[in-house]
């Protein structure tokens, strides 16, 4: 009885706080999953987006429950007679619960923006902007005797200087359907990116002046290509034969322009059947980073490559 007397009465006019909800935390978890997915796998990103939409919807539904509640019917208040001189416009008032709802939403949006925008700008956006490689003039076709391998070393971005030096292994395969055929293999090991070397004696290097950058050409007679870092080994078509590399060596597209060999974009290769001009190249779409599994079940562990 004493307890009942001490219990405070509920007052209808007192504003009430929104009931606690777990959806903001679930939404934050979904956003974290999206960010993780952008690094790890597109599948995880898609799951994160779906969860974020669902949890975001549930969060907004909870927060706006009071706004959507049907008002209880109340008796119309008796008309108030206002004296002429007392007529004054009452300013519109907001309850504390409404203020808290708006602040929660505003604060959540601000924190979401602060966390998400820099990540999108600095980590994700660069992957979608044009990163085409410039075409490199490797000199006249006469510099590439038919059937022989030549190590071509060149500066891929002249403005960047020596730091952009690249090496490609070039073999003139002769004519195929009256069109010159070349095999051009990147020297970048597809394990962790170390420079591979031809397994054979190198000849005398010679500098060739081209329309753009100087190119050094060194004749060689390799039996394959080897990587000094972890023992990766490749055959003469760039197929992996031993060690940790995950696929064949990357290759370059090429063009013949005014009698010169012009290097295009690199691309990644699963494996190559056959040799020279008759080889069948199992190509992936674009160049993929070293160490990345592009097919097989392992591919879900690697970042999405736009
Ligand atoms: S980087 Fe070539 S084998 Fe490891």
Distance 226 CA to ligand 1 centre (A): 9
HEC string of 116-138?
Answer: HHHHHHHHHHHHHCCCCCCCEEE
Q: How far apart are CA 150 and CA 139, in angstroms?
A: 12
**Contact criterion met (CB below 8 Å) for 145 and 165:** no
pLDDT of 241: 95
41 three-state secondary structure: coil
111 CA to centre of ligand 1 in angstroms: 42
- 290 C-alpha to center of ligand 1: Å? 9
Superfamily of domain 136-301: Rieske [2Fe-2S] iron-sulphur domain (2.102.10.10)
Which residue in 195, 297, 190 sits closest to 246, CA to CA? 190
Are 200 and 206 in contact by the 8 Å Cβ rule? The answer is no
The response to whether residue 192 sits with its C-beta less than 6 Å from ligand 1 reads: yes
What count of residues does the chain have? Answer: 306
Q: pLDDT (tens digit, 9 = 90+) per residue, 59-70? A: 888 887 777 666
Q: Which residues contact 192 (CB under 8 A, 6 or more apart)?
A: 229, 230, 290, 291
pLDDT tens digits, the chain, 306 residues: what are they? 444 444 444 444 555 555 677 888 889 888 888 888 877 777 888 898 999 999 989 888 888 777 766 666 666 666 666 565 556 677 777 788 888 888 888 988 998 888 888 877 777 666 666 566 778 899 899 999 999 999 999 988 878 888 888 999 999 999 888 889 999 999 999 999 999 999 988 889 988 877 777 899 999 999 999 999 999 999 999 999 999 998 999 999 999 998 899 999 999 999 999 988 889 999 987 788 888 877 776 666 665 555
Q: What is the pLDDT of residues 194-250, one digit of tens each?
A: 999 999 888 899 888 777 778 999 999 999 999 999 999 999 999 999 999 989 999
233 in ligand 1 pocket by Cβ < 6 Å?
A: no
Closest C-alpha among 184, 53, 45, 32 to residue 111: 32
User: What CA–CA distance (Å, rounded) separates 23 from 65?
Assistant: 14
Question: DSSP character for 219?
Answer: E
**Tokens 């020596």 -> residue:** 162
Q: Where are the domains of the chain?
A: 2-69, 136-301
């Amino acid at each position: 009885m004493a307890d009942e007397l001490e219990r405070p009465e509920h007052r209808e006019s007192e504003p009430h706080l929104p009931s606690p909800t777990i959806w903001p935390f679930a939404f934050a978890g979904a956003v974290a999953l999206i960010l993780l997915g952008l690094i790890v796998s597109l599948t995880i990103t898609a799951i994160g987006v779906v969860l974020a939409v669902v949890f975001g919807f549930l969060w907004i539904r909870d927060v706006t429950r009071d706004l959507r509640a049907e008002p209880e019917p109340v008796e119309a208040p008796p008309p108030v007679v206002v004296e002429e001189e007392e007529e004054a416009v009452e300013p519109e008032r907001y309850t504390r619960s409404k203020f808290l709802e708006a602040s929660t939403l505003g604060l959540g949006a601000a924190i979401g923006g602060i966390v998400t925008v820099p990540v999108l700008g600095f980590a994700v956006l660069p992957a979608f902007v044009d990163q085409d490689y410039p075409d490199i003039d490797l000199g006249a076709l006469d510099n590439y005797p038919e059937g022989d391998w030549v190590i071509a070393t060149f500066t891929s971005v002249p403005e960047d200087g020596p730091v952009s030096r690249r090496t490609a292994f070039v073999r003139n395969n002769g004519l195929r359907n009256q069109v010159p055929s070349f095999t051009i293999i990147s020297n970048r090991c597809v394990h962790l990116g170390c420079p591979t070397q031809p397994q054979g004696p190198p000849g005398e290097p010679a500098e060739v002046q081209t329309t753009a950058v100087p190119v050094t050409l060194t004749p060689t007679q390799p039996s394959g290509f080897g990587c000094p870092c972890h023992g990766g080994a490749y055959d003469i078509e760039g197929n992996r034969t031993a060690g940790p590399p995950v696929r064949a060596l990357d290759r370059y597209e090429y063009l013949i322009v005014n009698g010169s060999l012009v290097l295009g974009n690199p691309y990644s290769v699963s494996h190559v059947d056959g040799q020279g001009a008759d080889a069948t190249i199992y190509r992936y779409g674009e160049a993929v980073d070293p160490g990345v599994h592009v097919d097989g079940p392992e591919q879900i562990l690697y970042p999405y490559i736009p």
